[in-house]
Amino acid sequence: MESKEKIHSCLNILKRLPPTQIQKNAAALTSLIPDYAEELYQKIDKPLDIGQDEKGNQFIQSEFNRDGDSFRSPQNNQYYPPIDDAVYPSEQLRKLELKANAVFDEYRRLYYEGGLSSCYFWDKDDGGFATAWLIRKNVEKTKGIEEGSWSSINVIDVKTDGKSKWTYKITTSVVLEMNISSNQDVGKFNITGTLTKQKEESYEAPAGGKDIELFHIMKIGTLVEDVESYLRSQLDSVYFGKTRDIVFQTRFSEGEKQSIQQRQGLAGEFKQKYG
Amino acid sequence: MNQGEEEITEVQQYEKVVKYIVKNTPFGQANLVIKDLCKIIGNINPQNPIMLQALKDHNEEHLALFKGQSTQILTSVLNSQEDFYVDQKNNETIQVDHEKLEIISRSQVELPSEPDLNQLRDALEQQLNLYLSQQFSEKVCGAYVMYQGDASDFTFYLGITAKTINLPNFFCGSWISTWEVTKTQLKGDLKVQAHYYEDGNVQLKNVNTFSEGINVDLSAASDSAKQIVHAISKLENKHLTGMDNLYNSMPDIFFKAMRRPLPITGTKMNWNENVHKLVANLKQ
C-alpha cells in the first residue's frame, strides 16, 4: 500500500511539471524512492528516442522493445547493443509484426509526411497479445520554430473469447513540444503538452480465421487513426489555446479591460431600465 | 562510512531534489507539491527547513504577493533578508508566512533615504498602480518600487506581477516582470507562464528581455514616472500582441507541420486496400 501512495504522489507531481522534461523529473523523484523506480517508469509517457542498427537504419526505442539497456529493431529483430538471453515475440507474432510495420509506415507517410514509425508486438499469457504502435516526428527550424517534436504512443491490448470475437483496448498518449529560442516579439517561447485517451472495441473476425492477421492490422490501425486524430484536435483547439486564454485573463490586451467594463456598465444599465 | 555520514548525504539528496522540483512548479501549486514530496520522502512535514527554504525561493522568484491587514508586499530576491523582507517606503521590516502568503508581523526600522529619489519612487508607485488597474486582472496583482544609490547615481527596481490561480478548474498562470531604471536606460525581464491540467498537462513558459534608452529628470518626478511606466506598458503590450500572433499561427505552422488532420487526399486512410497491397509487396 505504501508504494501505491508514493507512486501516486510522484504522478501528481509529474502532472504539475513540463511533460517533455518527464524523464529528468521522474529520475529526480525516483532518486528519493529507488525501490519503486521501475514501477514509476512504466506508468509514465515520455518523448520517444530513436536508435539505429549497424547499417544506420533507424527505429524507435521504447519500453516495449527494451530488454535491460538494449533495444530490439523491428526490421531485423536484433537487439542493439547485442545481448544474450533476451525477450523476442513468438514466430507467428513476429510475422504479424513485420506486416504491421509495413502498413503503419504508410499511415505515417499519409498523416505525418516524415518522421519515424515502429510497431512492437509481445505475447501474453491469456492467449491474446499486445502491441505498441509508435511515432516520433521532429520539425526543425521552419518558419520560426527552432524545434518541435511529437511522440505518439499507442498501446493496444488484444483479447479473444476463444471463438471469433476479438476485443481491442487502446491507450494512446501524445507528448509534444514547440520551442522557439528567439523571436523578436516574444523572446523564448516554449510550450509542451501531453494528453491520453482510451477506447475499447470488439469485432467478429471473418469465419474460418481467414486472413486474421490482416484483420488485426485493419482494426488496430483504424483505432490508432481515430484516437490520434482526436488527441491532435484536442491539443490544437483546446489545450494549447487554453494557455493563451490563461495569459490573456491575467494580463489584458490594450483597451480590453476598458471595453469589458463598458460592456458590464451597459448591461447593468439595460437591466435597470428593463428589469 | 559511518551512520552519521550516510544521513547527511541522504538529506543533501532530498534538498537537491526538493529545490529542483519546487523551482519548476507553477505558482499556485507549490504547497500541493510540497505535501506530495513529504509523502514520498516520509517522516518529514512541510514545515521542515528544507521545504520552507524551497518555498521561500519559489515565492521570491515568482514575486509572490503577501497580504496583511492594511498593506501588502511583494517578495523578491531584492528585498529579501534571511528572516524578513524590507519595505523601503514605509521603513519597515516584514515577516511573512510563506505557506499562507500572509504578513505575520511588521517592525519599524530606520533605512537610508534619499529625498530626491523618494519623490520619483512615489510617482512611479502611483503610475504603476494606475497601470495595474488598467491592464491587469484585479484578483492577484501588485507592483513594487525600490531604489539604490543617490541623486547622482541611482538605480530604480520595479516589479510587476499578476497571477491567475484556479485550481478547481485545473489552471493557473503568472505574469512576472522586473525592471531596472537608471538615468538613461530602462532594462526589463519578463516571465509568462501558464499551466492547464484537466486530464492532460499543457505548460507554457515564455521569457523575454527588453532594453530601451530613456531620460530621467529627477526634478520632474511626475513626468518622468509617466514616461517610464508608459515605456514599460508599450513593451509589454507589444509582447502580448506577439504572443497573440504566435497563437493564431500555431495551427498552421506547428500542428499541421507535426501531423495533418487528414491526409492530403482529404479522406482517411483506406486500411483494407493498404493492408492487402502492402502485405502482398512484403511477400515479394
Asked whether residue B142 is assigned to any structural domain, the reply reads yes
Check whether residue B181 and residue B150 sit in a common domain.
Answer: yes
Asked whether residue B268 is assigned to any structural domain, the reply reads no
Q: Give me the pLDDT at residue A101, please.
A: 97
Residue A193, H or E segment: strand A187-204
ipTM of model: 0.92
Say how far apart CA A199 and CA A269 lie, in whole Å: 50
Check whether residue B179 and residue B240 sit in a common domain.
Answer: yes
Smallest Cα distance from A46 to chain B, Å: 13
Quick check: B4 pLDDT over 60? no
Chain B contact set for A228 (CB, 8 A): 259
Check whether residue B102 and residue B132 sit in a common domain.
Answer: no
B281: confidence class by pLDDT, cuts 50, 70, 90: confident
Q: Give me the pLDDT at residue B271, please.
A: 95
Asked whether residue B271 is assigned to any structural domain, the reply reads no
Q: Give me the pLDDT at residue B72, please.
A: 80
Say how far apart CA A252 and CA A179 lie, in whole Å: 24
* Domain extent for B184: 115-258
Mark which residues 14-73 of B lie under 8 Å from A by CB: 14, 17, 20-21, 24-26, 29, 32-33, 36-37, 39-41
Q: Give me the pLDDT at residue A1, please.
A: 60
**Average pLDDT value for residue range B22-51:** 95
Check whether residue B141 and residue B245 sit in a common domain.
Answer: yes
3-state secondary structure of B18: helix
pLDDT tens readout for residues B99-156: 999 999 999 999 889 998 999 999 999 999 999 999 998 878 999 999 999 999 999 9
Chain B contact set for A191 (CB, 8 A): 202-205
Burial class of B96 by CB neighbour count within 10 A (0 to 12, 13 to 18, 19+): buried
| Ramachandran category for residue B45: left, alpha or beta (phi over 0 → left; psi -120 to 50 → alpha) | beta
DSSP B113: -
B7: confidence class by pLDDT, cuts 50, 70, 90: low
Percentage of chain A modeled with pLDDT above 90: 76
Residue of A186, A196, A252 lying closest to B208 (CB–CB):
A186
Q: Give me the pLDDT at residue B13, please.
A: 86
Chain A contact set for B199 (CB, 8 A): 195-196
Check whether residue B53 and residue B142 sit in a common domain.
Answer: no
Smallest Cα distance from A246 to chain B, Å: 6
**Average pLDDT value for residue range A31-39:** 92
Q: What is the mean pLDDT of chain A?
A: 92
Check whether residue B187 and residue B138 sit in a common domain.
Answer: yes
**Average pLDDT value for residue range B56-60:** 95
DSSP A73: -
* Continuous H helices in B62-206: 115-135
Q: Give the chain A residue nearest B163 (alpha carbons).
A: A250
> Do A210 and A182 meet the contact criterion of CB atoms below 8 Å apart?
no
Check whether residue B150 and residue B253 sit in a common domain.
Answer: yes
Angle at A82 between CA A157 and CA A174, to 5 degrees: 35
Check whether residue B107 and residue B13 sit in a common domain.
Answer: no
Q: Give me the pLDDT at residue B278, please.
A: 84
DSSP codes, B51-95: HHHHHHHHHHHTT-EEE-SS-EEE--STTB-SS-EEETTTTEEEE
Q: What's this model's pTM, rounded to 2 decimal places?
A: 0.91
Check whether residue B18 and residue B97 sit in a common domain.
Answer: no
Asked whether residue B265 is assigned to any structural domain, the reply reads no
Structural domains counted in chain B: 3
Q: Give me the pLDDT at residue B6, please.
A: 57
Q: Give me the pLDDT at residue B2, please.
A: 52
Instruction: Test B282 with A102 for CB contact under 8 angstroms.
Output: yes
Mark which residues 220-249 of B lie under 8 Å from A by CB: 236-247
Asked whether residue B27 is assigned to any structural domain, the reply reads yes
Which residue bears the cell 505548460? B203
Q: Give me the pLDDT at residue A263, please.
A: 81
**Average pLDDT value for residue range B78-86:** 87
Residue of A16, A144, A218 lying closest to B26 (CB–CB):
A16
Check whether residue B107 and residue B120 sit in a common domain.
Answer: no
Q: How far is CA A146 from CA B130, B146, B205, in A?
A: 38, 38, 15
DSSP B136: B
For residue A138, what is its C-alpha cell? 521532429
Chain A contact set for B28 (CB, 8 A): none
| Ramachandran category for residue A21: left, alpha or beta (phi over 0 → left; psi -120 to 50 → alpha) | alpha
- Considering only CA atoms, which of B264, B272, B281, B252 is closest in space to residue A110? B264
B163: confidence class by pLDDT, cuts 50, 70, 90: very high
Q: Give me the pLDDT at residue B169, please.
A: 96
Q: Give me the pLDDT at residue B80, please.
A: 87
Asked whether residue B147 is assigned to any structural domain, the reply reads yes
Say how far apart CA B82 and CA B77 lie, in whole Å: 11
Chain A contact set for B275 (CB, 8 A): 99, 103, 214, 217-218, 221
> Do B132 and B63 meet the contact criterion of CB atoms below 8 Å apart?
no
B73: confidence class by pLDDT, cuts 50, 70, 90: confident
B8: confidence class by pLDDT, cuts 50, 70, 90: low
pLDDT tens readout for residues B175-210: 999 999 999 999 999 999 999 999 899 999 999 999
Check whether residue B18 and residue B30 sit in a common domain.
Answer: yes
Last residue of a domain, one of B80, B111, B142: B111
CATH of the domain at B239: 3.90.1150.210
Strand segments (E) across A15-76 = 49-52, 58-61, 66-67, 70-72
Instruction: Test B279 with A214 for CB contact under 8 angstroms.
Output: yes
Instruction: Test B260 with A112 for CB contact under 8 angstroms.
Output: yes
**Average pLDDT value for residue range A191-219:** 92
Percentage of chain B modeled with pLDDT above 90: 76
Residue of B197, B203, B242 lying closest to A185 (CB–CB):
B242
Residue of A19, A187, A193 lying closest to B208 (CB–CB):
A187
Check whether residue B148 and residue B252 sit in a common domain.
Answer: yes
Q: Give the chain A residue nearest B34 (alpha carbons).
A: A13
Asked whether residue B266 is assigned to any structural domain, the reply reads no
Quick check: B279 pLDDT over 90? no
Instruction: Test A247 with B175 for CB contact under 8 angstroms.
Output: yes
- Considering only CA atoms, which of A200, A195, A193 is closest in space to residue A220? A200
Percentage of chain B modeled with pLDDT above 70: 96
For residue A194, what is its C-alpha cell? 501531453
**Average pLDDT value for residue range B87-97:** 91
Say how far apart CA B62 and CA B44 lie, in whole Å: 25
Asked whether residue B277 is assigned to any structural domain, the reply reads no
